[in-house]
Amino acid sequence: MYSQFLNNDAPAKIRSLLSKEVCDILLKIGNFADKKSLHVFAVGGFVRDLILNKPNFDIDIVVEGDAKSFVTELASEFNAEFKIFDRFHTAKIYSENINFDFSSSRKEMYEYPGALPDVSFSNIYDDMFRRDFTINAMALSLNSDNLFKIIDYFGGIKDLEARIIRVIHKKSFEDDPTRLYRALRFAHRFGFEFDEETNYLFKQAIKDKRVSSLSVKRVASEISKIFKENLPGTIIEQLTKNRMLKHFAQNVKIPPIEPIGVENILSADLEAVYWICFLSQMPPTFKSETIDQLGLPHSSRVKILDGLDAFKKIPNALEELTCQDHIKLYYLLKKHCIEGLLALCYFKLNKINSEKIVYYLKNLRLIAPLISGKDLIDNDIPAGQHIKNILNYITELRLENKSLSKLEELEIAKQLYSNIQHKNSFQRHL
């Protein structure tokens, strides 16, 4: 089936699988490389998914030469935004719908197992040899003389055909133990099996405790990628089985998510939802400052900490409320992020209490006054704590199903402020 990508008709087949937008950009990159007398290739997961006819909008480009200067000149010619990352000779060009990551072809040397590699310039063979698995070690030539020819030094197409995950060399897991996590992730994603040697090397690496050399950040990075997969709980189960959750609890469970009917009206960070579930199961000895070491974006960290707080505070408080307790439900839940509330519904609460959160998300979450603090100031109500109190009062009226126009809200606000002034005046004369 996939062997067709190795014959003379392969370039035409590749072209037929590319979208016009991607094809045009790849042709431009190849033509620019021709002018510079450089060899350039699309590589890795993009080539794999192209053969599998799966969409992939993250395209890795390898240049046999200095990728940084290549991208600088290429971006100037295309009038595109770009960013340079010095340490690994990499760069990125930003397109509207597609990410193009560029790197120099390189080889890697590991000072000791689990260390970050020392990098040096090399050729496309060495660049493919340093990769994790054969199915991720294929390159697609973009130069005109070999346009869209697949370079497959290690039998990646054959392994796709056989549906197997196979390391490129025997020291793969020893050099980089994060490949143990990636092996499970790719096997899960594609429904592939390890070949016999890879299976032996995997088990040996686990036995030798190769993951013990990895930092919190590197393990967390692999867990984050797992959370982007469909049904990540299956992979997490394999990690616990193989004792690969260093720094974390050793028996974490991520149940499958059952939709609760609000997914189409919310925009949530699903990775943060999974992290909340994951970290809520940590033992008492787990230190909260470890979360700072995960290497997650600040926005994700804020959501996760809030979600963990919600896991502690909300369940018992919800027991005392019904869906008709609009005001109490609103004030209990509005301080927490959507990700924490969803995590509670998916992984923590029983159906009755989950429905209370769903009711809030559907009916109460967006209730707010039509007027703003600026409207009050524009109507001679000075800034101060009373503005917040006034807006809260009007919010509560709306939560009680009062239908108010903006003008009516403004009149209520003026009356409330008048009452506050009168009360303050009364107290001053006591």
Task: Report the pLDDT value the prediction gives residue 420, as an integer from 0 to 100.
Answer: 79
pLDDT greater than 70 at residue 426: no
312 plus 401 within the same structural domain:
no
Last-in-domain residue among 145, 162, 179: 162
Inform me whether the pLDDT recorded for 200 exceeds 70.
yes
At 422 the pLDDT is 67
Same domain, 306 and 388: no
pLDDT for 424 equals 61
Do both 8 and 132 map to the same domain?
Answer: yes
Is the pLDDT confidence value at 428 over 90? no
The span from the CA of 232 to the CA of 255, in Å, is 9
Among the residue ranges 22-26, 116-120, 239-243, 277-281, the one predicted with the least confidence is: 116-120
pLDDT of residue 411: 92
Whether 171 and 129 share a structural domain: no
Residue 64 reports pLDDT greater than 80: yes
Determine the pLDDT at residue 77: 79
Query: 427 pLDDT exceeds 70?
Result: no
The region of weakest confidence among 161-165, 246-250, 401-405 is 246-250
Query: Which of 174-188, 217-231, 331-345, 412-426 is the least confident region?
Result: 412-426
Residue 59 counted as domain residue: yes
Share of the chain above pLDDT 70, in %: 94
Residue 248 included in any domain: no
Residues 180 and 150 in one domain: no
Looking at residue 279, what is its pLDDT? 95
Tokens encoding 18: 């590319």
Q: pLDDT tens digits, residue range 237-253? A: 999 999 999 888 888 99
pLDDT tens column, 321-370:
999 999 999 999 999 999 999 999 999 999 999 999 999 999 999 999 99
Same domain, 328 and 186: no
pLDDT band at 94 (very low <50, low <70, confident <90, very high): confident
- Average pLDDT on 183-194 reads 97
Q: Which of 345, 364, 383 is the last residue of a domain?
A: 364
Percentage of the chain beyond pLDDT 90 is 71
Quote the pLDDT of residue 286. 80
Q: How far apart are CA 372 and CA 196, in angstroms?
A: 66
Q: What is the mean pLDDT of the chain?
A: 90
Q: For residue 420, give its domain range.
A: 373-428
139 vs 422, higher pLDDT:
139
Q: What is the pTM of this model?
A: 0.88
Same domain, 141 and 182: no
Which of 377, 367, 379, 361 lies closest to 403 in space, CA to CA? 367
Last residue of a domain, one of 364, 383, 405: 364
Residue 122, pLDDT score: 86
User: How many angstroms separate the CA atoms of 146 and 408, rounded?
Assistant: 73
Using CA atoms, how far apart are residues 83 and 104, in angstroms rounded to an integer?
Answer: 15
Whether residues 336 and 287 fall in one domain: yes
Residue 228 pLDDT grade (very low, low, confident, very high; cuts 50, 70, 90):
very high
- How many distinct structural domains can be found in the chain? 4
Kindly state whether residue 48 falls inside one of the protein's structural domains: yes
Mean per-residue pLDDT, 264-274: 94
Asked if the model's pLDDT at residue 118 lies above 70, the reply is: no
> Does residue 112 sit in the same domain as residue 205?
no
Confidence class of residue 423 from pLDDT cuts 50, 70 and 90? low
What confidence tier does 117 reach under pLDDT thresholds 50, 70, 90?
A: low
Q: Is residue 386 part of a domain?
A: yes
Tokens of 115: 């260390």
pLDDT value of position 285:
79
Are 11 and 40 members of one domain?
yes
Same domain? 214 vs 296 = no
> Is residue 137 domain-resident?
yes
In this structure, the answer to whether residues 341 and 264 fall within a common structural domain is: yes
Q: What CATH number should be reported for the domain holding residue 203? A: 1.10.110.30
Instruction: Confirm whether 331 is domain-assigned.
Output: yes
pLDDT top residue among 412 and 249: 412
Q: Is the residue at 251 inside a domain?
A: no
Taking the C-alpha atoms of residue 326 and residue 331, their distance in angstroms, rounded to an integer, is 9
Is residue 388 situated within a structural domain?
A: yes
Q: With helix as H, strand as E and coil as C, how does the chain read?
A: CHHHHHCCCHHHHHHHHCCHHHHHHHHHHHHHHHHCCCCEEEECHHHHHHHCCCCCCEEEEEECCCHHHHHHHHHHHHCCEEEEECCCCEEEEECCCCEEEEEECEEEECCCCCCCCEEEECCHHHHHHCCCEHHHCCEEECCHHHCCCEECCCCHHHHHHHCEECECCCCHHHHCCHHHHHHHHHHHHHCCEECHHHHHHHHHHHHCCHHHHCCHHHHHHHHHHHHCCCCHHHHHHHHHHCCCCCCCCCCCCCCCCCCCCCHHHCCCCHHHHHHHHHHCCCCCCCCHHHHHHCCCCHHHHHHHHHHHHHHHHHHHHHHCCCCCCHHHHHHHHCCCCHHHHHHHHHHCCCHHHHHHHHHHHHHHCCCCCCCCHHHHHHCCCCCCHHHHHHHHHHHHHHHCCCCCCHHHHHHHHHHHHHHHHHHHHHHHCC
